[in-house]
Amino acid sequence: MCAVMAGGCTHIKTFVFGARPTGHYCTDRMMKMQENIPLAPFTTLRAGGPARYFFVARTDADIAEAIGFARAHSVPFFVLGGGSNVLISDSGFPGVVIKNEIGGIAYEELDDGRVCATAGAGVVWDDLVKDAVERGLYGLENLSLIPGTVGAAPVQNIGAYGTEVEHSIDRVEAFDIETGEERVFSNAECGFAYRDSMFKRPDGEKYIVTRVSFLLHSFGTLNTVYKDVAEYFAQRKINAATLADMRNAIVDIRTRKLPDMRHIGTAGSFFENPIVSIVKKDDLLDRYPELVWYPFGESGIKISAAWLIDHIGEWKGKRDGNVGTYERHALVFVNYASENAREIYDFAERIRADVKNKTGIDLNMEVSLLGDFR
Ligand code: EPU
């Protein structure tokens, strides 16, 4: 933890920059708890039914209030961030949806050019990355333009272009729904793994992330090794890329390769890249010599789910009813309708069954399911 190493990264209560909340709900403080609110507009897939109760939380006290309400009414709760990684069933959610909009970004200078950035869970992720890059702080630039909020970043350990957010996270503050108190988790306590953390596992379900602190650097080095990034700079003959160049590169690569969530219903990668054994990889390579794979951890292999979906099933760019895969990326779903969560789910199941049938590999959804899909 930077807090321990430098005695810095203290608990910051005054925020110097407030991210603007987004959404289409009533902002009247007296109307914090609303009923039967359609959730589709709060998700980037733009599908799914209503929330029985919908509560906008801008402070830790709001979170406590929403949890108290759920408990008093004996209904479940669900915390929604940017809605970019969730598929909500058409019947909606029978409990309290807590829209986490705890805002603010604060910076604290430590020693040796290190800076601790603390952001509220409801801050739009890319607002934080943009702000950090503009301040000349290294660490988050490869994660530019990832959709969603700061609070979701540690939960699923977001990653892109050779960087995982776990390498920048110093600590995570969370509300403990059992005790009603704040808990602070060090990086190690977060139990990060590929697209996974303690917060996604049963032990972590009782915590709601309220703030995340990142350890950033004024004098950093850029990670340009990822294939798309290296090609981008080589093509433009940029030998000494700056921090701003790096962000521009990622924004450009993502914009060209992924659909624009402002105009198209999508949730980015729908499945995780499967992790298999070396034996399994060798078996697949015998049948599919072009297979794209990467070493993973001590003895694992990460297989490109996009490659499997694209080349084994030839699903890339295929449309089935109101759902399809994006023409430029097979792992990315596109939704052409609304209130058709079932259709999206069934489409995913067809792809999953096809990949399983041909390769024996089970694809896990990266997108979280909420509600009833039986
Ligand atoms: N590929 C295909 N067909 C395609 C797309 C890709 O065969 O339609 C192959 C290519 O060989 C390519 C390889 O798959 O080189 C990897 O593709 P890409 O670089 O796009 O990475 P990815 O593994 O598919 C992951 C993340 C993305 C992140 C990119 C870039 C997961 C599940 N997804 O995708 O994250 O942007 O790396 O680092 O790990 C997201 O989480 O929503 C997301 C978009």
DSSP state of 22: -
pLDDT value, residue 108: 98
Residue 164 a catalytic site member? no
Best CA proximity match to 258, nearest among 246, 247, 267, 271: 267
Name 96's bridge partners: 53, 77
Residue range 307-340, pLDDT digits in tens: 999 999 889 999 999 999 999 999 999 999 877 9
**Residue 158, both tokens:** 């977001």
Best CA proximity match to 230, nearest among 142, 302, 294, 297: 142
**Token pair 């990355």: residue:** 129
DSSP state of 189: G
Q: Are 246 and 222 in contact (CB under 8 A)?
A: yes
- 284 three-state secondary structure: helix
Pick the more confident residue, 2 or 209. 209
Cα 37 → chain centroid:
23
Best CA proximity match to 261, nearest among 27, 42, 25: 42
Report the residue among 269, 270, 310, 314 best suited for mutation to probe ligand 1: largest number of ligand atoms under 8 A from its CB: 269
Measuring CA to CA, how many Å separate 146 from each of 130, 135, 267, 366?
11, 19, 11, 14
% of the chain exceeding 90 in pLDDT: 88
Best CA proximity match to 23, nearest among 101, 94, 88: 101
Residue range 215-239, pLDDT digits in tens: 999 999 999 999 999 999 999 999 9
- 176 three-state secondary structure: strand
Q: How far apart, in whole angstroms, are the C-alpha atoms of residue 42 and residue 82?
A: 7
**Residue 21, both tokens:** 């909340």
Phi then psi for residue 263, to 5 deg, are -120, -20
Does ligand 1 lie within 6 Å of residue 331's CB atom?
Answer: yes
**Residue 372, both tokens:** 């009833």
112-139 b/e (C-beta count within 10 Å ≥ 16 → b): eebbbbbbbbbbbbbbbbbbbbeebbbb
Report the residue among 271, 302, 307, 368 best suited for mutation to probe ligand 1: largest number of ligand atoms under 8 A from its CB: 307
**Residue 35, both tokens:** 């009923």
Residue range 130-152, pLDDT digits in tens: 999 999 999 999 999 999 999 99
Assign 297 a pLDDT band (cuts: 50, 70, 90).
Answer: confident
Measuring CA to CA, how many Å separate 212 from each of 2, 128, 183, 220, 284?
13, 11, 12, 21, 40
Pick the more confident residue, 15 or 308. 308
Mean pLDDT computed over 7-22: 33
Assign 355 a pLDDT band (cuts: 50, 70, 90).
Answer: very high
Q: Are 303 and 274 in contact (CB under 8 A)?
A: yes
pLDDT value, residue 148: 96
Residue 273 CA, closest ligand 1 atom number: 32
Q: Are 315 and 294 in contact (CB under 8 A)?
A: no
Q: How far apart, in whole angstroms, are the C-alpha atoms of residue 144 and residue 107?
A: 19
Q: How far apart, in whole angstroms, are the C-alpha atoms of residue 219 and residue 157?
A: 24
Does ligand 1 lie within 6 Å of residue 266's CB atom?
Answer: no
pLDDT value, residue 338: 77
Assign 31 a pLDDT band (cuts: 50, 70, 90).
Answer: low
